[in-house]
Amino acid sequence: MSARLKVAVLGATGYSGLELTRLLLRHPRLERPLLLKRPGDATNAQVNLADLFPVLSGNGSYPLEPFSWALLERRGVDLLFLATPHEVSRALVPEAIDRGLRIIDLSGAWRLQRAEHRGIYGFKDQDEKRASELTDMAVYGLPELNRDKIPQARLLANPGCYATTIILALAPILRSAQAELSWGIIADAKSGVSGAGKEPTPRTHFVSVADNVSAYGVFTHRHVGEIAEQLGLTKDQITFTPHLLPIPRGILSTVYVLLKQPTEAARLEACYRDFYQGKPFVRVFGTPMLPEIQFSLNTNYCDLGLCLAPDGQRLVIVSCEDNLLKGAAGQAVQNLNLMYGWQEQEGLL
């Protein structure tokens, strides 16, 4: 085997960052990843990631080192993973690219091309011209759609968790021009609490989540623009409603589409199987089986199932994934593999 790639993770203390670190530690082509504290963290105490997450205990120490560009250069880091808040990634990426690093960003900082969609983040770029150049440079890292662009990417924007389930559910039917868009598409999605991040809020406290299901971000969720851009839709053509489930992880999205012409279930299933042929992390279930959250938990799979009404025109697509893996860290490693020409499944099975 040739020399192992040197990578660093900024943001390993979050849920997605922890999952990413665990995947990178077992990846056969990588050196042990450099784990970094956020810029501005003035804590002098030595922080061991295994003390924060005892699941790592028993395999040595996992120190978090203070972030600096000099440290990255001294350690010979080739690629930097950012599992940071959107505004942190937005601020760090310009200098990282100028220093010759490749970036896989798990935040939403560079996913959106259109200013009207990106406005929901309220970014204040110090150099708007440079930010615009990097926005144009960024590759949207959904391997099932952008496999040909990923190997050359210097800045890769990892997709959002909800967006992944809905884009993968709709791409075959939209690319084959079978959907009646004037009727509108409805995406009803439900996620475990880890999708809201590690920092607690009144909405994510146990007493708010337990024995409850709640809708949020109706018509305002930041993934609407992401979904619309990647599928070539207007925001008026899709209604996306996310819900919070009283479970730690997992997403189930139910998507409703009206077809232009009556068709047969077997033909639709063949359309999906043809579209995802050779794409190892999408599983198309045979009708009438539908995915469930528990089937994809702790895997990098997105599971798809189809149900067609007797009229042959009303289609329901069910899409499930683990939001911390295919919806975040696992997909980031899948993109890493493609960027360096490795087998897509390395470190993920």
Structure tokens at 145: 């759609």
User: Minimal CA–CA distance to 331: which of 77, 111, 114?
Assistant: 111
User: Minimal CA–CA distance to 328: which of 193, 159, 88?
Assistant: 159
Residues 6+ apart with CB under 8 A from 333: 20, 23, 24, 27, 300, 347, 348
- Amino acid of residue 228: A
Question: Rounded CA gap, 1 and 3, in Å?
Answer: 7
Q: Which helix (H) or strand (E) is 49 found in, with range?
A: helix 49-52
278: helix, coil or strand? coil
User: Minimal CA–CA distance to 223: which of 172, 168, 159, 171?
Assistant: 159
Catalytic center residues: 161
Question: Rounded CA gap, 302 and 169, in Å?
Answer: 9
Q: What is the DSSP string of 34-45?
A: EEEPPTT----S
Q: Could you tell me the end-to-end alpha-carbon distance of the chain, in angstroms, rounded to an integer?
A: 20
Is 19:53 a contact under the CB 8 Å cutoff? no
36: helix, coil or strand? strand
Is 80:74 a contact under the CB 8 Å cutoff? no
| Eight-state DSSP code of residue 30 | B
| Eight-state DSSP code of residue 325 | T
